[in-house]
Structure 1
Amino acid sequence: MFGKLTISEIDELLAKQVVGRLGCHANGVTYVVPVSYAYDGHFIYVRSFEGMKIKMLRQNPGVCFQVDDTRDFSNWKSVICWGVFEELEDKSNRDAAIEKLHSRPLPLVSSETMHVSPIWPFTDDTEQVRGVVFSIKITEKTGRFEKSAEVEFYAS
């Protein structure tokens, strides 16, 4: 069965995921890259280093953002948001975004590549957090899902 996610289901998926795909476009080039993020119900918050993504976002602040929860080809949820990039240079806004990023729920299971490093988790001294901190003000969001009609059997 295919269907549309409700607004509350969209917000739930955005809140529980920690990696999404950010799409940006400038000078005839489209760029999509995975980013770790936090979501507060209205804004997506990201910290990144200078590079192609930041350069393009500064040139064209219109963005697309996508997250999903895919169990298999017949059981998935996907959300797409459109919004506006804003670099958070004001100390109070930057600190608030860093706090949201620092306090987001993280997966209980990690991999060998997910480990503590000098840049994660963030230091309590926000002045020491390197990189560009930005928000995406969501202007539109939509979600879809597919759920298999197959009956699942569990051992008792």
Structure 2
Amino acid sequence: MITLLENQQIEQLLSRQIVGRIACHVDNLLYLVPVSYAYDGKYVYVHSHEGTKINMMRKNPEICFEVDDITDMANWQSVIAWGRFEELKKEEDRQKALRTLLNRKLPLSSSITTHLGKTWPFSEDDLDDITGIVYRIELTKKTGRAEQTSFSHSDCQ
């Protein structure tokens, strides 16, 4: 049975995941792309490079953001949120966003072989040298759905 997520569950899912999807639109063209992100309870922070997504969001900053956690087809959670793209150009804003990304993602990607350099993942020492676009999305409306059954395909394995 599909149920609505409560606000606390929505916030937990947004905070727990690191990959979401941004949908943007300009001139009757829709574009959907996965992004790695960090969420601080108000904003989704993303580091990117110039391209279709950035160009479209500069023209029309209204976006839709989706994140999910799917165990199988009968056990999943999904959040859809709407918000507004804001490119961070001030150095202090960029640094805050990059630190938020670093603190969220680095513990998940660190290993003996992980290289911390000027490309992702980056280190605290490299923040001044990071190129590309840093932006945030203020999520203004959020909704969530879930399905959870007592039977799962993983129970059969």
Is TM more than 0.5 here?
A: yes
Answering whether residue 74 of structure 2 is matched by residue 74 of structure 1, we say yes
From the superposition, tell whether residues 106 and 17 of structure 1 become closer, same or farther in structure 2 (CA, over 3 Å).
farther
Residues 39-74 of structure 1, C-alpha deviation per residue, up to 9 Å, x if partnerless?
000100000000000000000000000000000000
How far the C-alpha of 1:109 sits from its partner, in A, is 8.2
From the superposition, tell whether residues 95 and 120 of structure 1 become closer, same or farther in structure 2 (CA, over 3 Å).
same
Residues 5-61 of structure 1, C-alpha deviation per residue, up to 9 Å, x if partnerless?
111100100001010001000111100000000000010000000000000000000
Name which of structure 1's ranges 123-132 and 1-10 shifts more when overlaid on structure 2.
123-132
From the superposition, tell whether residues 39 and 109 of structure 1 become closer, same or farther in structure 2 (CA, over 3 Å).
closer
Whichever residue aligns with residue 138 of structure 2, its letter is K
Whichever residue aligns with residue 99 of structure 2, its letter is E
Residues 78-134 of structure 1, C-alpha deviation per residue, up to 9 Å, x if partnerless?
001100000000111110000000000568589xxxx54640221323221111000
Q: Give the match for residue 17 of structure 1.
A: 17
From the superposition, tell whether residues 12 and 105 of structure 1 become closer, same or farther in structure 2 (CA, over 3 Å).
farther
Q: Contact (CA 8 Å) 2:116, 2:122: kept in 1 or not?
A: no
Instruction: Give me the whole-angstrom Cα distance separating, in 1, the residues matched to 2:45 and 2:109.
Output: 23
- Give the alignment of 1:32-111 within 5 angstroms: 32-105=32-105
Instruction: Give me the whole-angstrom Cα distance separating, in 1, the residues matched to 2:36 and 2:86.
Output: 17
Question: Structure 1-normalised TM-score?
Answer: 0.88
User: Whose helix proportion is higher, 1 or 2?
Assistant: 2
Q: Contact (CA 8 Å) 1:18, 1:106: kept in 2 or not?
A: no
